[in-house]
Amino acid sequence: MNLLLTGGGTGGHVYPALALAEAIRRRDPRAHVTFAGSHAGMEASLVPAAGVPFVGLSVRPPRGRSLPRTAAALATGAVSLWQAAVLVRGFRPHAIVATGGIAAAPVVIVGAFFHVPVVILEGNVLPGRINRVLARWSRAVAVAWDDTVPHVQARRVVVTGLPVRAEVRAVRRADGLREFGLAGSRYTVLVLGGSQGASRLNAAVEQAVGLLRERRDVQVLHQVGGGWAGSTASAREDRVVGAARYVRVPYIDRIGAAYACADVVVSRCGAAALAEITTAGLPAILVPYPHAAEDHQARNAEPLVRAGAASLIPDASLDGETLAREIVSVLDFPGRLARMAASMKGLGHPDAAERVLALVTSLVRQPVASEVGG
């Protein structure tokens, strides 16, 4: 099979596609996979680093509402339609899977024009604006949550879960502890502040660690993000704060090792992060990013909170004291940690990649390749 993946702009649009590439290569080593995205997006570096061929398109989102910037964005979109047509005619995909972002639009439009089956992959509870439009060009939409189904207008909607990288569930706890130099006798609180950091969350964590200083049974592994102005470190920092351990890193490359040694996760509510947390079966304290489009991070948290798998702290209420109190509640209230973990595991779709591939395969017609070739 020739599978064309497209999307980009955020990790939530890139990592699920890479997980899908992993899965199809495991299933069929002869399969050909290519990823098309913006040459100016984070996908331009993440995709080649994962060993997946990458085609950069000119498309860029408008960086403002002024007429010149809007016109420039439209121009890159027009050029990208031509680039996508060249790619589709040359690569001859049997199917296209789009994960979202403006970078996916040219490829989906061209693919639909050439009658290539298009599957939209949506991980948010409330679909993104681009995916809501692209869904109308698709043969099917694969979603992560039952709650999403009423919000999608498409020929076919299937709940598959959101694919996650194999490493999320492949690392043993002992190996994770060794990776970060952590103690097996302590609870590990994993904090994910995002690749570029989350200033308010990061500041609250620092305060919370100070308030947990008497806890000899707690260690905090904190991804602060490379872009956080509050961080002066470009590498790992390992501190002892009273009796507690506090390890700060700019970015966690081996996320599976971090999940493996964690007992509870503190995180924003991006779709990819929540898919990983549910797959890992880890209790969570969620802090939705308040400025996300259409408040979609708060909507993403709802199924987890409703199931008792996570607690929620609104960003406006977040401070060190509130976060420390919630961490203590999760760890110390009898049976709560185990109940939350069981509920979280029940929400996970560790076979999401296989489900999406099964959907794609069901839509593929072998003559499509000749149709694309004209």
What CATH number is given to the structural domain containing 198? Answer: 3.40.50.2000
Are 188 and 278 in a shared domain? yes
Provide the pLDDT confidence category of residue 237 given band limits of 50, 70 and 90: confident
| Whether 355 and 325 share a structural domain | no
153 and 248 both lie in a single domain? no
Question: Quick one: pLDDT at residue 227?
Answer: 55
Same domain membership, residue 337 and residue 261: yes
Q: What is the pLDDT of residue 373?
A: 42
Residue holding tokens 């994993």? 190
| Residue 151 structure tokens | 């919000």
User: So what's the pLDDT on residue 197?
Assistant: 52
Distance CA 328, CA 325 (A): 5
Span 367-373, mean pLDDT?
41
**Could you tell me if residue 11 is left (phi over 0), alpha (psi between -120 and 50 degrees) or otherwise beta?**
alpha
Reference 60, options 71, 44, 47, 76; nearest CA is 76
What is the average pLDDT across 227-233?
Answer: 51
Asked whether residue 160 falls in the same domain as residue 171, the answer is: no
Is 116 found in the same domain as 30?
yes
| Mean pLDDT calculated for residue range 211-240 | 79
Looking at the chain, the whole-number percentage of residues with pLDDT higher than 90 is 72
Task: Say what the pLDDT of residue 274 is.
Answer: 96
* pLDDT class of 253 with cuts at 50, 70, 90: confident
User: pTM higher than 0.75, yes or no?
Assistant: yes
pLDDT band at 67 (very low <50, low <70, confident <90, very high): low
33 and 171, same domain (yes or no) = no
- Comparing CA positions, the residue from 372, 369, 370, 355 lying closest to residue 119 is 355
Residue carrying the six token digits 């700019």: 250
Q: Are residues 283 and 359 in the same domain?
A: no
Q: Residue 103 belongs to what domain range?
A: 2-164+351-373
Same domain, 212 and 233: yes
Examine the pLDDT at 90 and tell me if it is beyond 60.
yes
As for how many domains the chain has, the answer is 2
DSSP assignment, residue 124?
S
Same domain, residue pair 233 and 314: yes
**Quick one: 255 and 178 in the same domain?**
yes
What lies within 8 Å, CB to CB, of 349 at 6+ separation is: 144, 160, 161, 162, 275, 278, 279, 355
Residues 85 and 153 occupy one common structural domain = yes
What's the rounded Cα separation, in Å, for the pair 108 and 318? 40
